[in-house]
Structure 1
Amino acid sequence: MIEARRLHILRALSDHRTVTAAAAALHLTPSAVSQQLAALEQETGHRLVERSGRGVHLTAAGDILLRHTNAVLAQLERAEAELVAHSSGAAGTVTVASFATGISLAVAPALVHLARAAPGIRVRVLDAEGDASLPMVLDRQVDVAVAVEYRGAPAAGDARLTRVPLYAEPFDVVLPAGHRLAGADRVPLVELAADRWIGPSPGNPCRDVVVLACEAAGFQPAFEHQSDDFHAVVAMTSAGAGVALVPRSALRGVDLGGAVVCSVDGVAPTRRVFAAVRCGAEEHPLIRPMLEALGEAVVGRGKPAADAVLPGGEVPDRWAMT
């Protein structure tokens, strides 16, 4: 008989690729992870993990068990949701991780909706970039992530997650007031190929949006300055330090100083924002109202890229947004 709690060990090793990182994510010691893995291998009769340099990777048998692990853990999430609904209903705490602008545009307004619709639910909010919040959901550190698409993110059909699109927003060009294109209404990105750039740090999902947009225009942006604070990016641009692409919502209420904002000529780079929970947890009586409140909060902010997608392609009608 395979113990379900040991399946969390297997998935953490697959996600984090080292025993130390998996142990940290699960709040265990590395020796405890190794012991649980050894017990799981004894239970299954197969070697599940092999060392690869300083890390580990799953064997063929490990990959087979991982596919079943995702299904088993999702079903356990559903069972927990039904039991909580049966015993206590919507009263308890939900933890949400979101990047800063997502907190302003989606999470904070959702708290207002939730206070009216489900006053028994208490929400804890953590500030975390999208590339950090999704692993936090998978590692059970938070219940809901508000994240953005980025290279390396779990795909829309990932069997571990249920995703609910929230909104999409374009990026605008921010230029120094003395820039040769500062008077234009729309700026072709290719015209900025030779400029110095100011952008987010590597790993920030917004950097991926900027880099992919510039690559589509035929060049690699030369980042001379880096900051994850868009107020700082605008301030640097105002000082003439370079050009930037900034999400439109991040420019609201910002003192532009000596900077000007222009639209992108052609298809504007866009960040697509979604909420994600562990597959099976979307029906939890504490989590479902949070997802619905997020949907209510962002109506009209920007059409999402697609309807909500569940593993297997199922679309929950109550979350489909127009």
Structure 2
Amino acid sequence: MASPTTPVRSDAELADLAARARLHVLETVASSKAGHIGGPMSAMDLLISLYFDRLRIDPARPDWPERDRFILSKGHSAIGLYAVLALRGFFPVEELLTFDHGDSRLQGHPDMLLTPGVDSSTGSLGQGLAMGTGIALASQKRRTDVHTWVLCGDGELQEGMIWESVIMAPRYRLDNLTLIVDNNGLQQFGWPSDGTSRFDRSEPMGHVDLVAALRAFGWEAEEIDGHDLEDIRAAFDRAEARRGTGAAPTAIIARTMKGRGVSFTQGHFTWHNGVPSPEQLALARAELLGPAERMNAR
């Protein structure tokens, strides 16, 4: 039995979904009194584009063997993934309010044994690309038509395990593997700076030409605007076009902004994690939703 094709959405529809998902992130973290905000918000346009405009999946059958796979390597951004999975129909949106509770299916890091739609348990940074490389290699060997997508954070690229996978994947011509880097340039902590501040939070990846580095290892690499839906769609199209051609794996370096979408979170490392106040939630609703939707949300 074939899976229904993921419906193609307009940019306006995707932007609306991304705004709703960002608000769900803030409201859920506020309700649970814990969680990460900056990373989920920076990656949201990428996640929405994947789940509503790209991945071949079926929410009614989350374990469908021929589905595309997605791995959130930066597992601390789980609430962003959960918000998207809920909007896509994997579980009720109301279940988001159980996030990080002891008996919830929605734990602080993704658990593939608990949560419908989660293809890999993550949280220890650096492991996701290795998992994705293994899944893509198995798919290649089995001759199954599965595309594996992995989303990493830029700070996560400091983990050596990432680079072992970067070296390995081109050797097997894994044209069914796509790495997306949420390159928001703002870690919670960083390396010692030049003395003007305690940390340079962009280090070390803020000072590396990641496209050139990945190309040197044999990847098909490019940089895009990670908040431009047309840019995202075009890059995903190019990655899809390489499948089955014997090409190298694809790497998409997405320039993003930490905490994107709300004035008090975007561009501030202090919102790597944190709990918004009722007043801040009201401001977020005003910035993310239209007038009619704000009335219904009260």
TM-score range, shorter chain: under 0.3
TM-score normalized with structure 2 length: 0.24
TM-score by length of 1: 0.23
Which of structures 1 and 2 has the bigger CA Rg? 1
**Structure with the higher fraction of residues in strand conformation:** 1
